[in-house]
Amino acid sequence: MQSLGAKARKLWSELVRIGEHCEICGRVGEPDAQGRMIVGLHAHHLVPSTRLQFKYVLENGLCLCSPCHQLWHVNADDKRQLLDMLRIINPDKWAFYQQNIGASSQAIESDRTALEKLKLLKPEVLEAARFENCF
C-alpha cells in the first residue's frame, strides 16, 4: 500500500508529464504499457521540492526529457541556458521560477490535503491519465 505522499508524488508527476513531450527541446516520450507517451520523460521541480510549499504545485512542474533533465542538474551554465530557453518557450513557467526560487521555506499542507487538491484539479485529466488504481 502506497503512502499518501507517494500517491501525491505519483499524481503530480503524471500530471506534469501529461503533455508527453519535453518542454525545452520538444522530444516526445515513448509509450508505456497503457499507451501514454511518458517513458523517458521526467517531472522536474523548477523550485526544488525541498521548498515544501511548492512540492505539489503544478506550475512548479516542468516536463523534461532525460538529456535536458541531466543538463539541468549537472552544470550551472547549462541550467542558465535552459532557463533562457524556458523564458522564450514558456514565459509563465519562467516567471513562476523567477518569483519563487528565492521564497523562504514554509510548512506544506498535509499530504492528504495536497492529494485531495490534485485530485480535484482537473477530473478530466485524471481520467485521461487513468489513475483509477492510484487511490
pTM for the structure as a whole: 0.70
Cell of 87: 523564458
Cell of 70: 541531466
- How is the chain split into domains, by residue range? 4-130
Q: How do residues 21-50 score in pLDDT, each as one tens digit?
A: 999 999 998 888 887 777 789 999 999 988
29 contact partners, CB below 8 Å, separation of at least 6:
17, 20, 21, 36, 37, 38, 39, 40, 41, 65
Which residue stretches of 29-90 are H helix? 66-74, 76-89
Cell of 4: 499518501
- Asked if residues 55 and 49 have their Cβ atoms less than 8 Å apart, the reply is yes
Q: How do residues 51-83 score in pLDDT, each as one tens digit?
A: 888 999 999 999 999 999 999 998 888 889 999
